[in-house]
Amino acid sequence: MTAIDISGLAPPLMAAAHRAGGLVMDHYRNGGPVQRKADASPVTAADLASEGVILAALAELTPGIPVISEEAAAGGNMPETGDLFFLVDPLDGTKEFIASRPEFTINIALIRNGEPCFGLIYAPATDELYFTRSEGEAVSATLSCGRPLPEWPAMAFAPMRSRKPPEDGLVAAISRSHLNDATTRFLADHDVTSTLSAGSSLKFCLLAAGKADVYPRLGPTMEWDTAAGDAILRAAGGIVLAETGGPLAYGKRDSGYRNPGFVAWGRNPSPA
């Protein structure tokens, strides 16, 4: 397995996300055609432009580490992976993007031994940046892709920490585009008193920032949808559990990197 310094990933990958975000926002403002992939999910020129920037940056930064990226994988480019590989979603929340809602993100994650150890989420329409600055440390910052990339030492990073569930009931983060019957039943069966709707991986960030307590997604997702948010939430004190039991695992090549349903918690509901 190639050795890698987790803390050294954020500055260059923030720069790559900043460049990709600028391209995404150009497409967001100007519009463009929407195509359908083999699985009927939408893809736009913004997805492809962002992916090109991120893959080029990773090839230069970590040339020995495989990358599984959503659009490349859809085209059949799915390299063999070992104990260490990247997962990339160049435009998470494409449905939000198409609907002109600003809740779409660029997601980059590093997987080590089946677990996400680094994650970066950038929401270019709202200038939100979230990432794991080091092992067990999640932070947020403001980053505008409409302005020059700031110098790393000049940036203000705010620590992120999930909260202890309040005694008067849970706040649930729910999907704006994928709320199904199973999730609705989960909300009814648990002590959920209010909900926050959001698109893309930003729901993980609501938990990591202590603004919500649980995020149930009891439907299909892919590993590149969840890995960056999972890494950030873990570093902030939370956990993502598969509905089949145990932490959500990564590297499921035999299933095409498809996830089972899961529930993300700001704090482990069953601490050891």
- What pLDDT digit, counting tens, does each position of 49-75 carry? 999 999 999 999 999 999 999 999 999
Total domains in the fold of the chain: 2
Query: What is the number of other CB atoms lying within 10 angstroms of the CB of residue 213?
Result: 27
Where does a domain end: 91, 125, 160? 160
* Angle between helix 10-30 and helix 45-61 axes, rounded to 10 deg: 160
Among 95, 127, 160, the domain-final residue is 160
- Does 165 map to a domain? no
**Distances from the Cα of 25 to the Cαs of 32, 69, 73, 93, in angstroms?**
12, 20, 23, 14
Residue range 2-26, pLDDT digits in tens? 568 888 999 999 999 999 999 999 9
Looking at the structure, tell me whether residues 227 and 102 fall in a common domain. Answer: no
Tens of pLDDT, residues 126-147: 999 999 999 899 999 999 999 9
pLDDT at 29 over 50: yes
Q: Would you state the pLDDT for residue 1?
A: 38
- Confidence band, pLDDT 50/70/90 cuts, at residue 271: low
- In a domain, residue 17? The reply is yes
Does one domain contain both 156 and 27?
Answer: yes
**Domain C-terminal end among 160, 182, 215:** 160
Are 225 and 124 members of one domain? no
> What does the alpha-carbon distance between residue 30 and residue 237 come to, in Å, rounded to a whole number?
39
Asked if residue 177 has pLDDT above 80, the reply is no
Same-domain pairing of 253 and 200: yes
- Closest alpha carbon to 165 in 229, 217, 210, 216: 210
What's this model's pTM, rounded to 2 decimal places? Answer: 0.96
**Same domain as 216, residue 138:** no
Q: Which domain, by its residues, includes 234?
A: 170-265
Cα 192 to Cα 187: distance, rounded to the nearest angstrom = 6
**Token pair listed for 15:** 């720069």
Together in a domain, 126 and 181: no
Statement to judge: residues 44 and 131 lie in one domain? yes
Express each pLDDT in 187-217 by its tens digit.
Answer: 999 989 999 999 899 999 999 999 999 999 9
Three-state SS at 224: helix
